[in-house]
Structure 1
Amino acid sequence: MRSRTSTPAAALLLFASLLLSAPLHAADLNVAVAANFTAPMQKIAEVFEKDTGHKLVLSFGSTGKFYAQIKNGAPFEVLFAADDETPARLEKEGGSVEGTRFTYAIGKLVLWSKQDGLVDDQGEILRKGTFERIAIADPKLAPYGAAAMQTLNKLGLADSLASKFVTGENIGQTYQFAATQNAQLGFVALSQVYADGRITEGSAWIVPEDLYEPIRQDVLVLNQGKDNPAAAALMDYMKGETAKKIILSYGYAL
């Protein structure tokens, strides 16, 4: 008799322990992510889901287009922007949850070619002009494109190289132009060609930070995510050591 009565009790205890160990109120979260942050965000999402049980539904694109979509009612709950101006604007316009905005990364610009040895470590190839096309993200939509134009203007090369520009809608498309060698060079985000302390392939010049304004990238919870527990969990997670290590491994500063 004792064995029969203890079995359901043991099962009940096991079920209770499973409930306690499982994440409470696991939820899906629609997240808009600037294209430059694609690789690190995919890695962060993987460990975040394992650690919290919440699932991130990620969309990647240009910050400028995300802003327009959000203003038109797109169901994004969190925005990881490629700048700090767009989140500040959304905050001022009442489109976000007050007090949630912070800088999650500071981006770095790099002149990159898939071809080994083409780009020297001083960027002198820009002055030589020995290439047919150079990819640049649309400076009106993409902060990395704006940084590229600031760099060329400071170097006095914007006008002389203008005929060689191939313009990407966002930094993801710009990288593709260079990666497929439709453009021999491209101004891209360092995170797209850098991992574990080195350039992953090709040749590159990491652009000195005094040639362009700091690319401060802010995140915030949008009004759509106000009552989603996954949004608050993600904000906390981004401030933790796991996320920070991933971000630093892709060449960003904090």
Structure 2
Amino acid sequence: MKRIFITGGASGIGQATARLFHKNGWQVGITDVNEVALRATAAELDGCWYRPLDVTDDLACQHAARDFAAEGGLDVLFNCAGILQMGQFENISAARHKSIIDINVTGLMNMSLAAYPHLKESDKPVVINMSSASAMYGTPHFASYSASKFAVRALTEALDVEWGRQGIRVVDVMPPFVNTPMVNDADFRAPVIDRMGVNLDAEDIAATVWHTATHITPVHNPVSGKFKILVLGNKLLPGAATRRLMQFLSR
């Protein structure tokens, strides 16, 4: 039986992914800082392994990866844990900016390092990182979040080369806005969201994660036709054109 370890698995995209892989016969392990939601999700998925986890705690990440792998190995790591704060950059506290980087970047690195020795034991190991459309061009009102996803993109590209030599595929998933509590429950709603629309559900992203886990894919996996067109335009047009587009979308 194939085995997937999912951070941020108690809600949103992580939860939808856990449900999909469980439905398809995989052994699923989930972690989250929200213990109540974590236990509820685990109870829904018969036989699901779970543990409360703060991904910024590198030692806790090591213990969680070790204990999950001890029960049968670790084939796929889905680094899904992340947070978002929308608003004017100067209106968000330094502590909050730091938390975004700590969880979205350092947490992802902690978990990847923790999973690495166990992934090496799998015959077809994969690391799937949760990136974002915000990693294409710095997004106004998402400045530190966008910066964190640029870091995820760079890390994915580097590890795809480094770990690829050891047989570990490293890819990311890059959706635009998704209908999840992280977007819907925000105190500030960035104008770019209303201009582009929220046309994806968590299940749409889970389906892309499933595809990247079970098929050979490019390093970067943009989700939705609209965003794929923007990615193509970003490659073909001068950077100034993308900047002007972002200025328009964020007004």
TM-score normalised by the chain length of structure 2: 0.30
Higher strand share: 1
Higher helix share: 2
Higher CA-based Rg: 1
TM-score normalised by the chain length of structure 1: 0.30
